[in-house]
Amino acid sequence: MLKFLLLILAILAVWYGYRYVNRPKPPPPPVPPAGTKPGTPPEAAAAPRAEDMAACAVCGTYVAESTAKSCGRSDCPYPPA
């Protein structure tokens, strides 16, 4: 009976040792995006910003004003991409 208990304890020790060695590593701390001020909360630095959209006068396709690209038509008022 003693040998059986020692065998069970040895198996449990190996099992928990294996689980301890192969536990998941904690994720690294987030790196703030380039160009953010030190001390800026990460939530504020990573917040997406809304852009205004402008409709093409020719075809009506909406494009972001900051990246206004041509819709592909020759009479489009936006410059070709």
Mean pLDDT per block of 10 residues along the chain (81 residues) reads 95 96 88 67 64 79 72 69 57
Is 56 within a domain? yes
Three-state secondary structure call for residue 54: strand
Q: CB under 8 Å to 23, separation ≥6 — which residues?
A: none
Closest CA to 77 of 32, 47, 67, 68: 68
What total of structural domains would you count in the chain? 1
What range defines the domain where residue 80 resides?
A: 51-81
Query: Residue 77 in contact with residue 57, Cβ under 8 Å?
Result: yes
Q: CB under 8 Å to 46, separation ≥6 — which residues?
A: 33
Question: How far is 65 from 21, CA to CA, in rounded Å?
Answer: 53
Is 23 within a domain? no
Is 59 within a domain? yes
DSSP 5: H
Is 65 within a domain? yes
Is 35 within a domain? no
> Which pLDDT does position 76 carry in this prediction?
72
Is 80 within a domain? yes
> Which pLDDT does position 52 carry in this prediction?
85
Is 61 within a domain? yes
Is 66 within a domain? yes
